[in-house]
C-alpha cells in the first residue's frame, strides 16, 4: 500500500513535470515562432530572406532568379524578365536587374583569398562601387561565394545605345580590356610600387609658364588663379597645400577634344588635374589639394540635346556642366529625370554622377547610376572611351565610375534615361505628426518590413521642427507646429490601383501607432509642394536657426547610411553622443533608405568647439559602421571625410578600391587626395580643422 501510494505520488509528480515541460515547450516554440516572425528570416536552399532589411542572401548561386523570387513573395521582387537563368549567369553577364541590387558580395579570389565587400544597406557605396565589380568579372577574378541582394524593385529600363563604327568599336574594346586587365592584375598581384612614388611638390613657376604656353598652342581658354590661404591655419610647413605663392590654372574646355589635350598636357608636366562642375559638393570633391589644373566644365560644356522618346522610356544627352534642373526644362512634361538631390536646381549632371547622388526618391527609384545609359569618358591615360550599359564589360567600368569623384577620368557626355511623369491623381502625400520621435522611427521599421516602398519617406526630429517654425517665410511651417517629430510620406506610382492598395496597407500599419500621432493629408498640390519644398530646404533652415539660437557659425553635414532595421538604434545612439558632449544635434533622414543627416554645429572661433565637433563626427561615423552601415550615402568622401577612411570601410573594400584606382589612374594625377588621402593631406587634416577652408577654396576656383 505504501509502495502504491509512493508510486501514485511519483506518477502525479511525473505527470505534473511532463505537463510543465510540454507547456514550456509550447511557449518556447511559440516564442521561437514569434521571434522568427519578427526577424522575418527564413533559410531554404541556400537562400536567407530578411524582411527587416528588405534583402535576400544567396549562398547558392546556381539557383535561378525565378526560384529566388518565389522565396521572397512578400516583397514581390522582379529580378528581370528571364526567370530561368541562374544567379551565377546573371552575375557573369552583368544582368542589370541583378547588379543594380547587389548590397554585399563574398568572393574567393583566384589566389585563394576570401573577400567580403559591400554593406547591409540599400545603397552600399562609400567611394568606388566595388560591390558591383564582381558582376561581369567574377570568372576571371575568382568565384562568388554568396551575394546579398536588395528586394526593392526599381524602375529599371533597357534603352538601346548607339552603335559605334567597326573601327571605333575595336578601339573602344581595346581600351576597355586594357583597363579591366589592369584591375585584375592589381587585385591579384598587388599594386605596383611606382604608383605611390609619384609625389606632388610645389610646381615651379617655369613649369607653369611652359604649361600656359602649351595650353595656348592648343587654343584652350584658361586663366591663372592664385590661392590665398592664411598661414595661421598651417601647422606643418611640410604639408604641400596651396599657399600664397602657389598657382592654379583654370581651363575652360569647349569639347571632348580640349579635355583630351588638357589631360595629356597634365601628364607631360606631371601636374594633377581636378574636374569641376557647379561646385555644390559638401565634401570638397572638386576642390584642388595641390597645385593643379582645374577643368571647369560649367562654362561651355553644359549643352543638352538629342532627346529621343520610346513607349516606356526616353533618353537625352547632357554634357557634365549642365544643371540638373535644366534637364527637366528641356524635355516635355511627359518625362522626368528621376534622381533629384536637394541641390538639383543648381548642381550639375556630371557632379551627380561623380557622387552617385540620390535624393528623396532614392528608396523607390534608385540613384543616379540607375539612370545612366552611356557615358563618354576621357581617362587619365588620355584615351576617349565610351561606356554603355548594355555592354557587359563596359558596364563594369560604368558601375565603378558612378561615385568615383573624378578619380577615373573626366566625363564629357552622359546619356540619361528618363522616366514617365507620374500623374497627380496617382500621388498621395501624408504628414504624420508624432509626439515621440522613437515611435515615428519604429513605424518606419514596420513600413520597411511590410514591403511598402514610398516614393518619399522623410523623418524630422524635434530640433529640426523648431528650426522650421522659427523661419517666418516658410509657407508650410503651420503644418509642422505642435509636434515633437514628423514623418512625411508620399506614395506614388504610374499604376493608380497600386497606390490605393499601398495606402490601405499603410493605414493598417500606422493604426498601431495612432495614439502617438495626428495626421495631415495633403488636400491639393499646393500643400504637397509646400511640405516637400520645406524638406528640401532643411539645410539652410537649420543653419539659420542654429546661428540665431546658439550663435554657431559653422557646421558639419553628415550623410551616413544604415541598415533599414537599425533606425531606432542609430537615432538613440546619436542622442547619447549629443548628451555626452553636451551639444544639440538636429537629425533628419531619408527614412526610405535610411540615409541620415545629423548636423553638427560649432563655433569656428572656439578651438574647443571645433575639436568637439570632430570628435562627435567620428563617434557618429563609428556608430554607423558598428551597425553595419556606411559613412556616406550620397555626399561622397571628398577630402573632408577621407582622413579616417580606413575606419569607414572594411579592409577588403579598401584594398580593392585602391587596386582599382591604381589601375585606372596610374600617375595619381586624377583628383589626388580624394576618397583615399595622401600622407601629407592626412597630416594637414589632423592638425587643421578644414571645414571653413572648404568654402574659401571653392570660391577661389570659380
pLDDT in tens, 161-207: 677 888 889 999 999 889 888 888 888 888 887 777 666 655 556 67
For 199-254, the pLDDT digits (tens) are 665 555 667 778 888 999 999 999 887 655 433 323 333 323 334 334 578 999 99
For 523-532, the pLDDT digits (tens) are 888 889 889 9
pLDDT at residue 390, rounded to an integer: 82
- Buried b vs exposed e over 79-88: b needs ≥16 C-beta within 10 Å? bbeeeebbbb
Cα–Cα distances in angstroms (integers) from residue 72 to residues 51, 57, 94, 119, 257, in the given order: 9, 11, 22, 20, 50
pLDDT at residue 240, rounded to an integer: 34
Cα–Cα distances in angstroms (integers) from residue 658 to residues 121, 127, 578, 653, 697, in the given order: 22, 10, 34, 9, 26
pLDDT at residue 238, rounded to an integer: 30
Identify the three-state secondary structure at position 310.
coil
pLDDT at residue 27, rounded to an integer: 37
Q: Give the whole-angstrom CA distance, residue 331 versus residue 418.
A: 9
535 vs 479 pLDDT, higher one: 535
pLDDT bin (cut points 50, 70, 90) of residue 635 is confident
Nearest to 465 by CA among 567, 541, 516, 557: 541
**How far out from the chain centre does Cα 264 lie?**
31
Q: Give the whole-angstrom CA distance, residue 653 versus residue 121.
A: 15
Instruction: Beginning with the edge strand found earlier in the chain, give each strand of the sheet holding 222-226 in spatial order.
Output: 222-226, 247-251, 293-296, 273-276
For 309-340, the pLDDT digits (tens) are 888 889 999 999 999 999 988 998 889 998 88
Which residue, chain included where needed, has cell 571653413? Answer: 692
Given a cut of 80, is residue 499 above it in pLDDT?
Answer: yes
688 vs 169 pLDDT, higher one: 169
Q: Give the whole-angstrom CA distance, residue 555 versus residue 643.
A: 18
Given a cut of 70, is residue 89 above it in pLDDT?
Answer: yes
pLDDT at residue 124, rounded to an integer: 63
User: Across residues 258-276, what is the average pLDDT?
Assistant: 92
381 vs 237 pLDDT, higher one: 381
The answer, as to whether pTM is greater than 0.75, is: yes
pLDDT at residue 461, rounded to an integer: 96
pLDDT bin (cut points 50, 70, 90) of residue 12 is very low
340 vs 583 pLDDT, higher one: 583
Per the prediction, the chain carries an average pLDDT of 81
Q: 554-557 and 587-590: which strand pairing?
A: unpaired
Q: What contacts 602, CB < 8 A, 6 or more positions away?
A: 552, 554, 555, 556, 609, 610, 612, 613
Given a cut of 60, is residue 521 above it in pLDDT?
Answer: yes
User: Across residues 405-412, what is the average pLDDT?
Assistant: 94
- Give 441's Cβ-side CA count (13 Å radius): 23
For 278-309, the pLDDT digits (tens) are 988 888 888 887 788 999 999 999 999 999 98
pLDDT at residue 460, rounded to an integer: 96
pLDDT at residue 30, rounded to an integer: 37
Q: Which of 38-42, 134-138, 422-426, 514-518 has the lowest mean pLDDT?
A: 38-42
pLDDT at residue 479, rounded to an integer: 83
User: What share of the chain in percent tops pLDDT 70?
Assistant: 81
pLDDT at residue 125, rounded to an integer: 63
pLDDT bin (cut points 50, 70, 90) of residue 8 is very low
pLDDT at residue 230, rounded to an integer: 31
Given a cut of 50, is residue 683 above it in pLDDT?
Answer: yes
Q: Which of 207-221, 577-591, 634-648 has the highest mean pLDDT?
A: 577-591
Q: What contacts 508, CB < 8 A, 6 or more positions away?
A: none
pLDDT at residue 656, rounded to an integer: 83
Asked if 458 and 589 count as a contact pair (C-beta separation under 8 A), the reply is yes
Cα–Cα distances in angstroms (integers) from residue 254 to residues 218, 220, 280, 324, in the given order: 12, 8, 21, 19
pLDDT bin (cut points 50, 70, 90) of residue 20 is very low
Nearest to 380 by CA among 357, 404, 352, 399: 404
Identify the three-state secondary structure at position 280.
coil
Helix (H) or strand (E) holding 530: helix 525-536
Asked if 605 and 377 count as a contact pair (C-beta separation under 8 A), the reply is no
Q: Give the whole-angstrom CA distance, residue 611 versus residue 623.
A: 19
Given a cut of 80, is residue 474 above it in pLDDT?
Answer: no
Nearest to 249 by CA among 283, 277, 216, 282: 216
User: Across residues 685-702, what is the average pLDDT?
Assistant: 41
Asked if 67 and 86 count as a contact pair (C-beta separation under 8 A), the reply is no
User: Across residues 610-633, what is the average pLDDT?
Assistant: 89
pLDDT at residue 4, rounded to an integer: 40
Identify the three-state secondary structure at position 110.
coil
User: Across residues 584-597, what is the average pLDDT?
Assistant: 95
Q: Give the whole-angstrom CA distance, residue 440 versus residue 487.
A: 7
pLDDT bin (cut points 50, 70, 90) of residue 604 is confident
Q: Which of 79-83, 416-420, 510-514 has the lowest mean pLDDT?
A: 79-83
Q: Name 274's bridge partners.
A: 294
Given a cut of 60, is residue 493 above it in pLDDT?
Answer: yes
pLDDT bin (cut points 50, 70, 90) of residue 22 is very low
User: Across residues 428-441, what is the average pLDDT?
Assistant: 95
Cα–Cα distances in angstroms (integers) from residue 579 to residues 111, 546, 571, 585, in the given order: 48, 17, 12, 9
Q: Which of 153-167, 277-291, 485-499 has the highest mean pLDDT?
A: 485-499
Q: How many residues does the chain have?
A: 702
Q: Which of 70-74, 571-575, 579-583, 677-681 has the lowest mean pLDDT?
A: 677-681
Asked if 434 and 483 count as a contact pair (C-beta separation under 8 A), the reply is yes
Q: Name 496's bridge partners.
A: none
pLDDT at residue 581, rounded to an integer: 96
Asked if 614 and 685 count as a contact pair (C-beta separation under 8 A), the reply is no
Amino acid at each position: 500500500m505504501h509502495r502504491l501510494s509512493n508510486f501514485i505520488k511519483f506518477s502525479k509528480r511525473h505527470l505534473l513535470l511532463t505537463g510543465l515541460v510540454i507547456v514550456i515547450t509550447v511557449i518556447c516554440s511559440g516564442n521561437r515562432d514569434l521571434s522568427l516572425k519578427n526577424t522575418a528570416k527564413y533559410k531554404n536552399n541556400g537562400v536567407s530572406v530578411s524582411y527587416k532589411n528588405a534583402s535576400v542572401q544567396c549562398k547558392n548561386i546556381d539557383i535561378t532568379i525565378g526560384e529566388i523570387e518565389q522565396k521572397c513573395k512578400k516583397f514581390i521582387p522582379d529580378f528581370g524578365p528571364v526567370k530561368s537563368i541562374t544567379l551565377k549567369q546573371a552575375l557573369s553577364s552583368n544582368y542589370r536587374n541583378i547588379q543594380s541590387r547587389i548590397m554585399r558580395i563574398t568572393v574567393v579570389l583566384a589566389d585563394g583569398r576570401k573577400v567580403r565587400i559591400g554593406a547591409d544597406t540599400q545603397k552600399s557605396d562609400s567611394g568606388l562601387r566595388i560591390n558591383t565589380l564582381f558582376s561581369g568579372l567574377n570568372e576571371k577574378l575568382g568565384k562568388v561565394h554568396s551575394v546579398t541582394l536588395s528586394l526593392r524593385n526599381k524602375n529599371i529600363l533597357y534603352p538601346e545605345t548607339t552603335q559605334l563604327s567597326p573601327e571605333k568599336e575595336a578601339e573602344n574594346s581595346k581600351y576597355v580590356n586594357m583597363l579591366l586587365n589592369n584591375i585584375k592584375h592589381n587585385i591579384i598581384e598587388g599594386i605596383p610600387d611606382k604608383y605611390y612614388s609619384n609625389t606632388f611638390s610645389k610646381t615651379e613657376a617655369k613649369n607653369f609658364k611652359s604649361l600656359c604656353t602649351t595650353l595656348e598652342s592648343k587654343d584652350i581658354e584658361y586663366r591663372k588663379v592664385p590661392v590665398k590661404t592664411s598661414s595661421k591655419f598651417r601647422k606643418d610647413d611640410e604639408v604641400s597645400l596651396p599657399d600664397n605663392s602657389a598657382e592654379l590654372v583654370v581651363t575652360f574646355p569647349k569639347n571632348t577634344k580640349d579635355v583630351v589635350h588638357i589631360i595629356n598636357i597634365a601628364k607631360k608636366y606631371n601636374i594633377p588635374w581636378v574636374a569641376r562642375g557647379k561646385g555644390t559638393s559638401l565634401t570638397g570633391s572638386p576642390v584642388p589639394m595641390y597645385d593643379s589644373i582645374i577643368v571647369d566644365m560649367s562654362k561651355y560644356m553644359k549643352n543638352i540635346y538629342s532627346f529621343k522618346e520610346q513607349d516606356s522610356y526616353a533618353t537625352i544627352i547632357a554634357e557634365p556642366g549642365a544643371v540638373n534642373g535644366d534637364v527637366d526644362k528641356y524635355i516635355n512634361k511627359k518625362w522626368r529625370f528621376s534622381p533629384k538631390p536637394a541641390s538639383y536646381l543648381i548642381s550639375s549632371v556630371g557632379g551627380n554622377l561623380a557622387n552617385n547622388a540620390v535624393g528623396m526618391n532614392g528608396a523607390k527609384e534608385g540613384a543616379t547610376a540607375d539612370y545612366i545609359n552611356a557615358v563618354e569618358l576621357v581617362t587619365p591615360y588620355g584615351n576617349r572611351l565610351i561606356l554603355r550599359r548594355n555592354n557587359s564589360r563596359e558596364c563594369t567600368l560604368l558601375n565603378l565610375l558612378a561615385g568615383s569623384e573624378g578619380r577615373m577620368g573626366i566625363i564629357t557626355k552622359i546619356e540619361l534615361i528618363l522616366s514617365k511623369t507620374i500623374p497627380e491623381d496617382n500621388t498621395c502625400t501624408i504628414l504624420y505628426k508624432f509626439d515621440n520621435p522613437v515611435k515615428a522611427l519604429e513605424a518606419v521599421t514596420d513600413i520597411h518590413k511590410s514591403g511598402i516602398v514610398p516614393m518619399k519617406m522623410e523623418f524630422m526630429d524635434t530640433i529640426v521642427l523648431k528650426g522650421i517654425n522659427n523661419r517666418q517665410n516658410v509657407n508650410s511651417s503651420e503644418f509642422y507646429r505642435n509636434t515633437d517629430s514628423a514623418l512625411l510620406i508620399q506614395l506614388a506610382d504610374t499604376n493608380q490601383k497600386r497606390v490605393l492598395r499601398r495606402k490601405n496597407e499603410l493605414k493598417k500599419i500606422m493604426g498601431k501607432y495612432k495614439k502617438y500621432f495626428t495626421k495631415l493629408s495633403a488636400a491639393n498640390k499646393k500643400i504637397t509642394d509646400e511640405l516637400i519644398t520645406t524638406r528640401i530646404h532643411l539645410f539652410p533652415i537649420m543653419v539659420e536657426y542654429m546661428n540665431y539660437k546658439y550663435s554657431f557659425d559653422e557646421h558639419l553635414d553628415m550623410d551616413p547610411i544604415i541598415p533599414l532595421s537599425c533606425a531606432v538604434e542609430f537615432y538613440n545612439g546619436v542622442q547619447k553622443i549629443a548628451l555626452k558632449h553636451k551639444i544639440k544635434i538636429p537629425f533628419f533622414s531619408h527614412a526610405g533608405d535610411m540615409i541620415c543627416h545629423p548636423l553638427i554645429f560649432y563655433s569656428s572661433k572656439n578651438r574647443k568647439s571645433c575639436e568637439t565637433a570632430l570628435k562627435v563626427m567620428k563617434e557618429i561615423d563609428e556608430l554607423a559602421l558598428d551597425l553595419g552601415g556606411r559613412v556616406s550615402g550620397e555626399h561622397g568622401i571628398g577630402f573632408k571625410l577621407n582622413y579616417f577612411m580606413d575606419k569607414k570601410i572594411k579592409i577588403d573594400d579598401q584594398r580593392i578600391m585602391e587596386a582599382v584606382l591604381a589601375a585606372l589612374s596610374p600617375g595619381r594625377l586624377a583628383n589626388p587626395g580624394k576618397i583615399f588621402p595622401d600622407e601629407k593631406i592626412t597630416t594637414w587634416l589632423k592638425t587643421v580643422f578644414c571645414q571653413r577652408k572648404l568654402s574659401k577654396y571653392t570660391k577661389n576656383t570659380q
